[in-house]
Every structure is written in structure tokens, then in C-alpha cells.
Amino acid sequence: MSTPSVPLTKSFAQELDANDPLASYRDEFYLLPSIYLDGNSLGLMSRRAESSLQELIDSWKALGIEGWTTGKHPWFFLSEKLGEMSAPLVGADPDEVIVTGSTTLNLHQLAATFYRPEGNKTKIIATDLDFPTDIYALQSQIKLKGLDPDEQLILVASRDGRMMEEEDIIAAMTEEVALVVLPTVLYRSGQLLDIERLTKAAHERGIMIGFDGCHSVGAIPHEFSKWEVDFAYWCNYKYVNAGPGGVGSIYVNRKHFGTVPGLAGWYSSRKDKQFDMEHMLTVAESAGAYQTGTPHIFSVAPLIGSLEMFQEVTVEKLREKSLKITRYMMDLIESELAGMGFSLANPVEDDRRGGHVSLEHEEAVRICRALKEAGVIPDFRAPNIIRLAPVAFYTTYTEVWESVQILKTIMLEKTYEKFENKRGVVA
């Protein structure tokens, strides 16, 4: 066993909390009675998100239809404003990001726009570890082009069932490939892919490339514009704390501005032309072109308050704490849970690790149920993964220490054995 990087006592965890420069932001959130380690699935509600939602509700009450162009947050321009606020999270120019749609709808939009099979260049690359919705959407887009997904969708295989090797993905980038769509972070293992390297390799081969940022945006800084990523999409309800089903986001590199969206709607229009009501679309010269319909005002509203905190803290500082607290959790797991059947499924290197710790265990389902009963909220992913996400905004080092002690007790006392080995409908 390797030597821990820090002392593993509760008093040291409390010392880390006392010196945490982000500690005050914990008070910004509505905390649960349990230790919440599921922020990589749904972030906790902040007081500012609640306040901005109430502000938008009040604007409807006070302004009626005038709320579209007047008030503190005019609704007509809100998606663009939130895109501008989101841009620093991914290293983009303000007009390269738009808040709109959902993860799957946004992938459909981007694939409909940028997947252009021609001649023998017809294939799409993804991986066999991708989140299912991405695969379903890509299969659908291939079918809509009159092609066979079994022939045209290349799923690069993982060597170990946990992680991907960039070399394997690059090797699959043949002259037959038209598009590559990859996760920034693998949702099970938490592996952070080398986005810059993969983008460069794709472009050297004349291939368009886009990324699913659901498991990284808000936790990991990116430089999408600098790296010349063609497009990206992500949800905002995980690390960005926009609320359940919160509206997603799209990034499109400015070199593609002016491209007619594959799924056009009246919100694809240039703002000053939209209400001319012409049947000829004047495409917005920004990521706003990839909107389709009217924004869901009350669903984007919590994002206002949430993004204000990101502007104050910066994603770089959040990443600094995230790396430190996940390292602390891994050290505790290695020390306290040795010999209990656990394996770390996530990368240990800082430059390859996302925002959560991933544990494999053959009893993962029952262990997760025992953790919840004992006051720790984890996240299960089939077939045998326990995901634990100490979120930089609101998780303390003491909570991490306590959660590992609770897990140790569960294993020593075998309290998980009283539960049925069956996941809930929502895992």
C-alpha cells in the first residue's frame, strides 16, 4: 500500500476544513441531513438559485408580456446572457455558448448540423463506455441519413472496461470517419480524456469532433476555443447546480458561425430579424443559432444565481479543491477499506481524474442501499460501480472522512446483507 499524501485522522480533516478558502460557499447551499456525495448526478440547491428563480417568477407577475424585453433579466436575451456567463467554464468566447435544450436534444441538433456523410466518409466514432443517450442519438442521426448504425457507428472498445486509451480512439480515425463524439469525462470511471490531443488528431485527419461535457463542466476547466473543439454540449444540473432537468448548454466554435442548424427554429434567427416573421431564416452569427424554440424561462432561472457563484470563485479554484478532496478520499479508501473487496475504478493521476471517485465492488447495489440508510448518499452505476462525488462548493473534508468510516463499518458489520441485491428504478 502506498504512503498516504496526508494524515488520515479526523482532526486533520477538520484542519483542512478550517483552512479551506471555499468554506464559506457551503452556507450558500441548502444542505441535507445526510452526507451528500451525489452532486455528480444532481447538484444541491443554492440560495441564490432559489432567489433567481423567484425573481423570474416575480417578473412574470409584475410585467406580464413586457418581461420579454424589460426588467432585470429580460427573457428574450436570457439564453444569450447565460451563455456569456457560462463561457469561462469551458474556455470559450461569450458568443460561442448558448443555454438551451437538454443534453440529448442538443446532441441531436449538433449531429444534425455537423454529421455530413459524403462518399466513403460516413462513419461516426464513439466509445463503448459512453452514456447510453449519446449512443441512441447518434444511432438515430445515422438512420435519418438513410444509413445503417450497425455499419456506420464505430464504438471504440475499452481495454479494461473502465477507461479509454486515446491511442485506440485515434487509431479508429480512418478516412471513412466523418465525425467523432466523445465524453470529456467517462461517466462510470471518471476518467478525463485528453481533449486537446484528440481534437488535434481529428483535425489532422479532416474529421469534425465534439464533446459531451456533462461530467466535467463546472468541475474541470476547459479551453474549448483554444483547442479548436468544433462543438460541445452539456447539462447544467450536476456540478453547475441548475436544478433537476435544468436547461443544457451548447458550445460551437466561431469558425462554424453562419452554418445553418440541422434543426432550425425561429430562435435560430438573428435577434433583430426574428420578429420580422419572414419565411427565410436569417441565421444568428453566434451559438444562438443552435436554439430552436422559445426558452424555458423558469427552468433557466436558477442558473442565474448559480453562475454568479462561479464568476466569484472561478472553475480553476473549484478544480484545485476537487483534486485535493478526491485525493484525500482515495487515500482514506486505500487505508481504511483495504482487503474488503473494493477496487478504485477511476484514474489516480490528477490530469486524468474527473470530479468523482469510482469504486468497484461485487455488492455495489446493496452497499449503496446501506450507505443511504446510514446517512450517506452515493450513486450506483451498473453493473458494480459506487460513485462518490465530494463537490468543491459544499462538501467538507470531515464529511469525506466520516463517509469512509461509515462505509468501513458497513463492511465490517455486513449490514449491506439485509438488503435485496436490486437497484431502484432510478439509480
Determine if residue 187 is labeled as part of a ligand binding site.
Answer: no
Task: Please tell me whether 314 is known to bind a ligand.
Answer: no
Quick check: is 145 catalytic?
no
212 is catalytic: yes
- Is residue 70 a known part of a binding site? no
**Which residue among the candidates 29, 36, 115, 131 is catalytic per the annotation?**
131
Q: Does 73 appear as a known binding residue? A: no
Confirm or deny that 356 is annotated as ligand binding: no
| Annotated active-site residue in 38, 130, 212, 379 | 212
The answer to the question of whether 326 is labelled as a binding residue is no
Residue 215 annotated in ligand binding: yes
Residue 131 a catalytic site member: yes
Best CA proximity match to 326, nearest among 303, 307, 351, 301: 351
Is residue 350 part of an annotated ligand binding site?
A: no
409 carries a ligand binding annotation:
no
134 has binding-site annotation: yes
List 48, 162, 238, 324, catalytic entry: 238
Which is catalytic among the residues 233, 237, 310, 416? 237
Q: Is 331 annotated as a binding residue?
A: no
Distance CA 295, CA 308 (A): 20
User: Would residue 17 show up in a list of annotated catalytic residues for this protein?
Assistant: no
Our answer to whether residue 238 is catalytic in this structure is: yes
Q: Which of 48, 162, 353, 387 is flagged as catalytic?
A: 387
Q: Which residues are catalytic?
A: 131, 212, 237-238, 387
Known binding positions for pyridoxal 5'-phosphate? 103-104, 131-134, 212, 215, 237, 266, 294
